[in-house]
Chain A
Amino acid sequence: MMSPTIPARIERPSTRHFKHHRMIIVKNLYNDGWLNSHFHEILQLQDADNPAFVREILSLYVSDSRRLINLMNRPLGMDTVNYKEISVHVRGLLGSSLDIGAEGISKACLRLFNGTKAENKEETVLALKQLTSEFNKMKPKLEHLVQMERLILQSVLYRGWNDGHESSQIGCETKRSREA
């Protein structure tokens, strides 16, 4: 009696397609200077135990960056500008941008940080405008990447359910062939 042939694991076309699309998005982000090679280290932190790590980190980064930029704007509206308060928020954004490899935002943060150190209002206002502009350009690209990560995870989970369903069918066939 021959054992049934178990088919090799093949990625579903949808998972392959989404992963390919993700690769293109990331490559464009590198080529356009939005991300640097450090982002590769972030990708490596995602595995089967933490399949949603990249999506979670990027989502958090986008929402936290928006919050920090809003906080940076507030002191500039006062008669006396509290540069220390702005620099605290810039440091926060610089740290998270460096940690995920967001090169464009990191550079914009540094320009703003220099403005606050010099306590130059004109320089600070201009640098903050540039930072805001960089963020507004980068945000939809990161959100697109987050969306792709979500689709990949969903397709992998669906495949896992389907594989479980197929495995139980193979098990039934094995039992039937033994009984025959």
Chain B
Amino acid sequence: MDVDTGKRFPLRILLAEDNAINQQVLFRLLQRHGYTADVVSNGLEALNAASRQSYDVCLMDCFMPEMDGLEATRHIRQRIHPCPVIVAVTAAALEEEKKACLQAGMHMYIAKPIRAEQLMRTLYKCWQVKTREINIESLQQEILSAPSSHFNYY
């Protein structure tokens, strides 16, 4: 784990996750790599946070109370400019879910359990968007080919 990653590739991160365990694990994973994040517990709070200040990336759980990640994404894409890179974070990685994420306008997708290496690769891509090395819209092409899960269900 490289604690300097956050210094080398700084990003303003918003973490939208309702489950306390997932929140703590993901936040701690970010911390160990030199990042910090603002944490919210539902889509409505994510929308409000994104309206108040600019973020480079939003790690968005798809299923949350009050307003889920998909709806929050739609609102953020309509109202917030420039839009942060929105990364879908979800457990049951079904093909129909990936399509729903794509249709809602999410840019990237990572399946739980989230591995450190995978998270850092994702954040590096967000850094490349921030520095305009790559175009934000080009990220969506990878959603459908993103690995479903590291978890071997059977």
**Chain A interface residue bracket vs B:** 20 to 34
Cα distance A41–B114 in the bound complex, in angstroms: 10
Cα distance A41–B32 in the bound complex, in angstroms: 11
Q: Are B113 and A98 in contact (CB under 8 A)?
A: yes
Taking CB atoms, residues of chain B closer than 8 Å to A128 are none
Q: Are B21 and A57 in contact (CB under 8 A)?
A: yes
Q: Are A95 and B28 in contact (CB under 8 A)?
A: no
Closest residue on chain B to residue A46 by CB atoms: B28
Binding site of B, secondary structure by majority: helix, strand, loop or mixed? Answer: loop
Q: Are B113 and A60 in contact (CB under 8 A)?
A: no
Residue B63 at the chain A interface, CB threshold 8 Å: yes
Mark out the residues of chain A between 3 and 49 whose CB falls within 8 Å of any chain B CB in the assembled complex. Answer: 38, 41-42, 44-45, 47
Number of interface residues of B (CB under 8 A): 27
Taking CB atoms, residues of chain A closer than 8 Å to B29 are 41, 45
Q: Are B116 and A41 in contact (CB under 8 A)?
A: yes
- Which of A70-78, A86-94, A138-146, A157-165 is near enough to bind chain B? A86-94
State the Cβ distance, B39 to closest chain A Cβ, in Å. Answer: 15
Taking CB atoms, residues of chain B closer than 8 Å to A100 are 21, 25
Cα distance A91–B61 in the bound complex, in angstroms: 11
Residue B48 at the chain A interface, CB threshold 8 Å: no
Taking CB atoms, residues of chain B closer than 8 Å to A113 are 92
Q: Are A42 and B63 in contact (CB under 8 A)?
A: no
Please tell me which one of the listed residues B63, B114, B149, B154 contacts residue A99 in the complex, with CB atoms under 8 A apart: B114
Q: Are B92 and A99 in contact (CB under 8 A)?
A: no
Residue A53 at the chain B interface, CB threshold 8 Å: yes
Residue B115 at the chain A interface, CB threshold 8 Å: yes
User: Sorted from nearest, which 3 A-B pairs have the closest CB atoms?
Assistant: A95-B91, A96-B21, A98-B112
Q: Which residues of A contact B (CB under 8 A)?
A: 38, 41-42, 44-45, 47, 50, 53, 56-57, 60-61, 64, 88, 91-92, 94-96, 98-101, 103, 106-107, 110, 113
Q: Which residues of B contact A (CB under 8 A)?
A: 1, 18-22, 24-26, 28-29, 32, 61, 63, 90-92, 112-116, 149-151, 153-154
